[in-house]
Amino acid sequence: MAVVRPFRALRPEPHAAAAVASVPYDVVSTDEARALAAGAPLSFLHVTRPEVDLAPDVDVHDARVYQTARANLARLRETAPLVVEAQPALYVYRLQDGAHTQLGVAGCFSLDEYDRGDIKKHERTRPDKEDDRTIHMVTIEAQTGVVFLTYRHTADIASAIDQVCASEPLFDFVAPDGIGHTVWRAGGEDTARLVQSFAPVPALYIADGHHRAASASRARHALADRGIVSPGGERESDYMLAVAFPDHQTRILPYNRTVSDLAGATPSQFLTRLSARLTVEPTRVTTPAPGDAAMYLDGAWHRVALSNRAPDRNLDPVGSLDVSVLQDHILAPLLDVTDIRRDPRVRFVGGIRGTSELKQLVDSGVAAVAFSMSAVTVAELLSIADAGAIMAPKSTWFEPKLRDGLLTHLI
């Protein structure tokens, strides 16, 4: 059973939605966030990345950063303005990227289900990142980052979503990156129908936002210790803010890798060692087919065949992924990348940035070698999560992405 609960969203007035909406806090560096927030006083980055309003030498985990987030949220509530809905509701959130469209249900999802494992994961989280968002949530008493869930689609949910979309949207704008964001608020009957249509869903899956979900669970316990309870006697912090999209509309792009050095080898030595392990040949194809990687080294692209080293998918659904084969047969043995989560020589490049960025990083000397990967499929993600297994770090890049600031959950 999947529990989705309507909530009284904190949201911008419609005329301010485009100015408030910001990229997710975790897809930009501090410098990138600072540049985006400059000259944009209503940007929600002032709340999610409040270090942009402090001196560059202030540590991003300094207590002043979280207090600035709290102050900035209060300021935006006055200046945007942001308003709290009079009645609890669910929402339909449409993302549109060219011909690609996906429609999700936005609401509050049960942290009891998350803690029990009924909301399934495919990624490990880092304690330092959890610490950051937990302190952020507890300090501002709100969940600002939206968890991206997916589920095996049903006709009942699709029909209920279509009913909501027959009304006028609350927000409808195109962000600077060309992605369209449209949000409808469901009325009372439509909200009840959505709640009912989700009830038979056996499991939800975290697609993007593992750290946000883990932090919401931790913040829940911290706020429970304070004894904060909603007027109706139910704790808002028992739920996390998320949008659930059906699996057949969810789009995964590759998550590519670069390594800053060749572990003491020259490019020709590395190529020789790699060719002794795997089939390597020149190519002009920079976006590989499943079972291959495209490697950029010393000014040239190469096809690297990974499939002949992959274990049986039925026996090892994680080890058979291309990113796992790359790690096990190239990065670890040839480049000494034994802990890809923490090795500072490794850089992860989301597929939305394209293979031209991989080439630029190597040509500029920032990286010594780059690997362009094929994308993990949604079916693979669901089967791995169902098996209780964990993917290699940075295996999936979900696109398009939700914007922060359009719907905030006060806890």
pLDDT tens, 131-157?
Answer: 999 999 999 999 999 999 999 999 999
Do 147 and 224 belong together in one domain? yes
Structure tokens at 74: 């209060």
Looking at the structure of the chain, the number of domains it has is 2
Do 92 and 164 belong together in one domain? yes
pLDDT, residue 233, reads: 63
Structure tokens at 408: 């905030």
pLDDT in tens, 35-93: 999 999 999 999 999 999 999 999 999 999 999 999 999 999 999 999 999 999 999 99
pLDDT, residue 14, reads: 98
Q: Do 268 and 294 contact (CB within 8 A), yes or no?
A: no
pLDDT, residue 124, reads: 87
Q: Do 97 and 168 contact (CB within 8 A), yes or no?
A: no
Structure tokens at 151: 């589920």
pLDDT, residue 130, reads: 95
| Tokens 């920079």 -> residue | 286
Q: What is the rounded distance in angstroms from the CA atom of residue 121 to the CA atom of residue 77?
A: 34
Output the pTM of the full model: 0.89
Q: What is the rounded distance in angstroms from the CA atom of residue 252 to the CA atom of residue 395?
A: 10
Query: Alpha carbon of 90 to those of 32, 181, 396: distances in Å?
Result: 32, 16, 28
Do 368 and 334 belong together in one domain? yes
Q: How far apart are the first and last CA of the chain?
A: 24
Do 139 and 281 belong together in one domain? no
Do 57 and 181 belong together in one domain? yes
- 38 domain-assigned: yes
Query: Quick check: helix, strand or coil at residue 315?
Result: coil
Question: Residue 270's domain is classified under what CATH number?
Answer: 3.30.1760
pLDDT, residue 308, reads: 86
- Domain residues for 31? 4-251+400-410
Query: Alpha carbon of 43 to those of 22, 176, 232: distances in Å?
Result: 6, 13, 32
Do 339 and 360 belong together in one domain? yes
pLDDT, residue 229, reads: 59
pLDDT, residue 351, reads: 85
Do 325 and 194 belong together in one domain? no
Question: Which ranges of the chain have pLDDT less than 70?
Answer: 225, 227-233
pLDDT, residue 223, reads: 87
Angle at 306 between CA 301 and CA 307, to 5 degrees: 135
pLDDT, residue 232, reads: 57
Do 44 and 181 belong together in one domain? yes
Do 242 and 270 belong together in one domain? no
pLDDT, residue 252, reads: 95
